[in-house]
Structure 1
Amino acid sequence: MINIRRATEHDKESILSISKTIWDGDDYIPLIVDEWIADRKGEFTVVEVDGEIKGFAKFTVLGPEEYWLEGIRVSSKSRGLGIGKEITKYYIDKAKKKGYKSLALSTYIENYESIKIVEKFGFKRTAAFKSFYKSGKVNLNISNIKRFDRVTRVEEVKHILNSSEIKASNGYLSFDWTFMRITEELVEELINEGSVYVLKEDQNIKSTIILSNKKAKGKGLSISYLSGEGYYLDGINFAFSKYLEGGYDWLLFMCPDIQDIKEAAYKAGFETYGDYQTDVFVYEYI
């Protein structure tokens, strides 16, 4: 018998036991399990089969009527029992009861079973990105980094709301593996957090970058947005400098499918998970 309920502190050992079998033991769940259990706005959910925890997932509230699904995991010995389908249906029903404008998730290209399940339930792919990451040391000549200044007023960067880079991202900003629709209110929030920077030449903005640790799984930093044709490499090198300065464990960049930006990311020394043109997909329940 399958039972779905909110996770408690007593479930932690079982949750971590399942997590150890994911991604060769390199799963991020141990970094955020306490935070997820404590989240009362959202819901960290476990799935029991005959009284034993066999899977779990997270329902996160991004904003009014905006929900995000993440961390769907099923015990390797319990796959094929329909656990992934049950928890997906549970969250769809939960979102419907709450009333929703958006119910979304992201997944890697090789998560074939997850993609099959969410598409079967009516989720539609709304955006695709190329994931780049860097951890450890970076070979960077700090003296060559161009100066980016913090933005203090949303009026300075309203142009990004309709930029070609945002259009290529279908309106999303990325925060780790979480994607949020750009709004003037969100940009203003990021400005207040000190996360938005611009590069100016002759008083004209040439590049805009958003660097944020919002939604990070552990001590990570994300390039949430980058614009400025001809200045992409400057923006990425600035991001590397902030990554080093802040003592972060990794830098993540969900890059829109724009060849010039991807070439700059490769040139800067970013690493990738594979040779795919795009490898991270955003799905929304339609």
Structure 2
Amino acid sequence: MTEPKVRLARKSDKEAVLAFCQILPNNQKDYIPLVWDKWIRDPSGCIFVVTIDDVPVAIERVVLMSDSEAWWEGLRVSPQYRGQGLSKILELTINQYLVESGINISRCMILASNEIMADIMSKRGRKKVGNFDFYETDSINSPSTQLIKLNSNDLDYVCSLVKNSNDLTLRQEIYVSYGGKWQEITVKELKKRLSLGKIWGLKKDEKLLSIAIESYSENSNEKFWIGYVNGTKNSLPTLLYELRKLAHSLGYTLVGGFFPRSEVLSVSFDLANYIKINQRWVYEWKNS
């Protein structure tokens, strides 16, 4: 085999790359064809390509989520070149790029049912830091919702709720920023989300009971994506139900997202009539 080479993706790679990004190992349709054009234009991410005789045979993307965090996604290897160490070549190249960029923390997500990727994560010493369930349901046509759009004046209340709420039994230190990409929940992130009008709250007698942070998908405009929820045990079912109304008022037919596995959330989603679709695992490691 000709020695593999690694470079950044080009627009002209599209046809060759999509040729091996159609069907996933679990026989589901690949999402890469839906996001390729957006990815190639996005300056926050880099698509690394392994080529043989200048023909793309493997890809992986990394996105800089903050000054210290990176998100890995979209690892694909052409079937005829699997088992030849191409994913390891991509790993070493991306790791070097991140170290040189001063990025300390990396994360990625896999389907819990993906035994091949779970084995790769284990062999690479990557630590599982979260079990997340994917929930989805229809939006509801309603003339009103109890939810209000929070603003910068609510920052202290939002921070207090994120920091001190113990009802979820699982302290959630990362959230889905966008496109199925997790990053740390920081005061800086909360300020940004509030300024964008992307945090919704449920209040009673001016007291903030629960919140939801709005996210979005790179490959679907039909679903209202939620990247984070938190609040008191009794208020969460109402928050989740009201999100269905909000989604419809914003023009979405569906609402859903990835949420940490916990008994409190499981009960809350059942009460709000959401359906659990599958489970994802999030991994984290230090770049070195």
The TM-score normalised by the length of structure 2 is: 0.86
User: Using the alignment, how far apart are the partners of 1:284 and 1:239 within structure 2?
Assistant: 30
1:15 to 14, 17, 21: 17
| Residue 221 (structure 1) aligned to one of 220, 224, 227 | 224
Cα displacement (A) at 1:117: 2.0
Measured in 2, the distance between the counterparts of 1:85 and 1:224 equals: 31
1:149 match: 148
Deviates more, 1:73-82 or 1:191-200: 73-82
* Structure 2: distance between partners of 1:249 and 1:19: 28
CA distance in 1, matches of 2:46, 2:167: 33
Q: State the partner residue of 1:271.
A: 275
Contact 2:69 2:183 in 1 (8 A): no
Contact 2:226 2:257 in 1 (8 A): yes
Question: SS of the counterpart of 1:142?
Answer: coil
What is the alpha-carbon distance in structure 1 between the residues aligned to residue 80 and residue 166 of structure 2?
45
Match in the other structure for 2:118: 115
Residue 246 (structure 2) pairs with residue 239 (structure 1):
no
Corresponding residue of 1:70: 73
- 1:22-61 to structure 2, matched below 5 A, reads 22=24, 24=27, 26-61=29-64
CA distance in 2, matches of 1:25, 1:51: 28
Most deviating of 106-115 and 216-225: 216-225
- For residue 212 of structure 1, report the CA deviation from its aligned partner: 2.2
Deviations, residues 195-230 of structure 1 (Å, cap 9, x unaligned) = 1121111222222121222x5433243222212211
Aligned to 1:256: 260
- Measure, in 2, the Cα distance between the counterparts of 1:249 and 1:44: 32
Deviates more, 1:160-169 or 1:202-211: 160-169
Matching residue of 1:281 = 281
Higher helix share: 1
Does the CA-based 8 Å contact 1:224-1:253 persist in structure 2?
A: yes
Aligned to 2:133, which of 127, 130, 135? 130
TM-score (norm 1): 0.87
Matched, 1:203 2:202: no
In structure 1, give the amino acid aligned to 2:157: E
Paired amino acid for 1:157: V
CA RMSD in angstroms comes to: 2.3
- What does residue 158 of structure 1 align with? 159
* Bigger shift: residues 46-55 or 93-102: 46-55
Give yes or no for contact 1:161–1:183 (8 Å, CA) kept in 2.
no
One-letter amino acid of the structure 2 residue matched with residue 239 of structure 1: L
CA distance in 2, matches of 1:46, 1:187: 34
**Is residue 8–residue 49 contact of structure 2 (8 Å, CA) maintained in 1?**
yes
How many residue pairs align between the two structures?
277
Describe the SS at the equivalent of 2:110: strand
Distance 2:250 2:36 in 1: 24
One-letter amino acid matched to 2:68: E
**What letter corresponds to residue 151 of structure 2 in structure 1?**
T
Query: In the aligned structure 2, how far is the partner of 1:147 from the partner of 1:188?
Result: 23
1:49 deviation in Å?
3.1
The answer to whether the 8 Å contact 2:162/2:230 transfers is no
- Relative to structure 1, is the Cα distance of residues 109 and 58 closer, same or farther in structure 2, using a 3 angstrom cutoff? same
- How far apart, CA to CA, are the structure 2 residues paired with 1:165 and 1:79? 45
Q: Which runs of 5+ in 2 are unaligned?
A: none
Deviations 1:54-102, CA, capped at 9 Å, x for gaps: 2211111111132111111122333222222221222122212222221
Matched, 1:168 2:177: no
- Distance in 2 between the 1:255 and 1:40 partners? 28
Letter in 1 for 2:285: Y
Q: CA deviation at 1:35?
A: 1.8
Q: Percent identity among equivalent residues?
A: 21
